[in-house]
Amino acid sequence: MFADWGTTAIHVDLHDFGCPEEVDYSDYDIDESYNAARDQLYLDAEAAMRTVAGLLGLPPADPLAIDLRADYGERILLGSGHWAVAVAVVHEGPDLPIVLEVSLAYGADLPGRLAQLAGPPHGYHPVDWEAISAHIEVDMPDDYRWLMENYGPGTFDDYLTLIAPEELSKPQFGPLTVTGSWHQTLPLTTTPDEVVVSAILFPRWNGLKVTAPGMPDRDVSGGLLQFPVVLLSGAERLPQFPSRFPTRAPRFKAAGPV
């Protein structure tokens, strides 16, 4: 077991499940058959992943689910999860087993979970995304678009405010906490005490950066839709936010008429 930000995971080692190096090229007449045999090992791993997800009662992830491990290699097979991202990894080395991982993360049905925590969306809010992207010179991520189109500008729990599309600034340059390297960030939320949550551009959307006056910055995985779900549920607390946030009954308040 291990814990990432707002996540838990279960690991299952599938010993003697087969490794790519154990497929002998000389046993096959043509390259297509050999490649199919190697690929079958990954398909078997994906089937095993689905079996474990089924035993845990995890339905498939929704389109806005965030895969926290999407960049861990081309042989990650995504699949299940109510609050889960499930992956199966086949090791290239012949002496290593296939590792199956089901991550019980805040990854699936994020819109439904946010509605439970902060109230349902107020309706559709049209946004001219082409104009917004042309102004700030960045294409906005799907989860920010979803929040603006369904909830619109407003504040979670009288504290965490979503920056309206027309008020977005252009990306800023700054160092990341972990690597110390410089990347672009785009502020997406603010608070009354000047805590800012920004998207990290790496050079694409790659997590969030939390900054607060007088405190070290904090980089977190996931996206803007996952962020309020984890915080409002109480699954994780960040020292950059006051102890009063969230309250026991957090709600979303729209910035204008709904």
Note whether 220 and 121 are same-domain residues: yes
Note whether 74 and 88 are same-domain residues: yes
Predicted TM-score (pTM) of this structure: 0.70
Phi/psi of residue 6, each to 5°? 70, 20
Inter-CA distances, 120 with 33, 89, 145, 201, 210, Å: 52, 37, 16, 30, 26
3-state secondary structure of 215: coil
Domain closes at, from 90, 105, 120: 105
CB 137 within 8 A of CB 171: yes
Identify whether 1 is part of a domain. no
What's the CA gap between 36 and 245, in Å, rounded?
Answer: 53
> What is the reported pLDDT for 17?
54
Note whether 128 and 99 are same-domain residues: no
Note whether 136 and 230 are same-domain residues: yes
Inter-CA distances, 40 with 29, 43, 90, 251, Å: 17, 5, 11, 48
- Count CB neighbours of 73 within 10 A: 11
From the list 87, 108, 112, 115, the residue with the least C-alpha distance to 99 is 87
Note whether 163 and 242 are same-domain residues: yes
CB 253 within 8 A of CB 160: no
Six-digit token pair at 77? 């097979």
120: cis peptide before it, omega within 30°?
A: no
Residue 183 identity? H
Residue 234 lies in domain: 110-254
- The pLDDT profile of the chain, 258 residues, written as one tens digit per residue, is 333 455 555 555 655 555 555 667 777 777 888 778 767 766 776 676 667 667 766 666 566 665 544 443 333 334 433 344 445 555 555 555 555 555 555 456 788 889 999 999 988 889 999 999 999 988 888 889 999 999 999 999 999 999 999 999 988 876 665 555 677 889 999 999 999 999 887 655 568 889 999 999 888 877 888 889 888 988 788 999 999 999 999 999 998 755
How many Å from the N-terminal Cα to the C-terminal Cα in the chain? Answer: 44
246: cis peptide before it, omega within 30°?
A: yes
Six-digit token pair at 74? 């081309």
Identify whether 2 is part of a domain. no
CB 190 within 8 A of CB 157: no
Note whether 56 and 136 are same-domain residues: no
Six-digit token pair at 81? 């999860």
